[in-house]
Amino acid sequence: MDTRPDDPLIEAFLDAAWAERGLSANTLDAYRRDLRKLAAFLRQRSGGTAGLQAAGRDALLAFLAAQVQSGLSPRTVTRHLSGIRQFYRWLVRERRLDEDPSALIDSPRVGRGLPKALTEDQVERLLAAPDCDTPLGLRDRAMLELMYATGLRVSELVGLQQASMNLERGVVRVLGKGGKERLVPLGDEARSWMQRYLADSRPVLAGGAVPAEVFITARRAGMTRQSFWHRVKAHARTAGIGTSISPHGLRHSFATHLLNHGADLRVVQLLLGHSDLSTTQIYTHIAREGLKRLHQQHHPRG
């Protein structure tokens, strides 16, 4: 499409953006492409009579809608809108335009990305990574086992208090988001590792102190989210899965693996402490993908 009538205006904006904000060549090229596409759309829509400076809010909305209808993702359309907003703000600052037609346009809602879950083999390798002959290694193994067994959030895990644990009954009382309390079963494996940690490792780390937190550092203080994440990354590297882990990787894996093995979605919702079932449903997409891969690999007609 012919885009030349608005090119001088676009180039003036790009020169200003480079001089004032130091934008990269890639960003400037993206802005140029997006603005040329908009200019061509506006001229086609108006029969060749309207350019960028004549665009109103409705015309910009029509352009964005056309991008969505053409199959572009909300994230890409949001990028288009970002450049368009910068352009019209510049026109107003330069007094080439009285009002910014993009000012009252909301960005398209960008869907939440699917959480990254580990495979069951990766989980086993991660759990086996800490050196359990050391107090810190045994603590880390217990934390990883507990997180995978219960699906706790990192903040819930490091915030666990001694009074929250009931190993005899095999449950942990968790204070979640919004002060909501829930009881989560541990499972035999996690309970066994917790018993070992509390009997053999925690007294050494506490050194006579009586901290309220279940998981403590060598300084006799409770673990922080940052210190836990640092330890997880180190163990992930040892296990050879350094690029596959996220702070909530074991929580995501807990939910996904439960669904893969036939757990009811509402039960998983209760275990995760989600107030809204739609938050839990995001894991069904991952579970379905995993089941499809298993079917393709193992079914004779997969």
Which residue of the set 31, 88, 197, 283 is catalytic?
283
Residue 248 appears among annotated catalytic residues: yes
In a domain, 142, yes or no: yes
Residue range(s) defining the domain that contains residue 135: 120-298
218 and 145 fall within a common domain: yes
The catalytic residue among 177, 180, 285, 295 is 177
Same domain, 290 and 192: yes
Say which of 80, 202, 251, 252 is annotated catalytic.
251
pLDDT for position 87: 93
Q: Do 233 and 84 have their domain in common?
A: no
In a domain, 60, yes or no: yes
Q: What is the DSSP letter of 200?
A: I
Q: How many CB atoms neighbour CB 133 within 10 A?
A: 7
Let me know if residue 98 belongs to a domain.
no
Is 251 labeled as catalytic in the residue annotation? yes
295 is catalytic: no
pLDDT value at residue 35: 92
Judge whether 153 and 251 are in contact, CB under 8 Å.
yes
Could you tell me the CATH number of the domain that includes residue 223? Answer: 1.10.443.10
Q: Which candidate, 128, 115, 110, 108, places its Cα nearest to that of 236?
A: 128
| 204 and 262 co-located in one domain | yes
Annotation says 235 is catalytic: no
The active-site residue, picked from 80, 248, 252, 257, is 248
Choose the catalytic residue: 153, 169, 235, 261: 153
Residue 184's pLDDT is: 83
Please report whether residue 111 resides in a domain.
Answer: no
Query: Do both 85 and 126 map to the same domain?
Result: no
Q: Is 298 a catalytic residue?
A: no
In whole angstroms, what is the distance from residue 67 CA to residue 43 CA?
A: 16
Structural domain count, the chain: 2
Residues of the chain with pLDDT under 50: 1-3, 286-287, 291-292, 294-295, 298-302
Both tokens of residue 44?
Answer: 């086609």
In a domain, 270, yes or no: yes
State whether 135 and 253 are in the same domain: yes
298: which residues sit within 8 A by CB, 6+ positions away?
none
Residues 137 and 16 in one domain: no
Same domain? 127 vs 253: yes
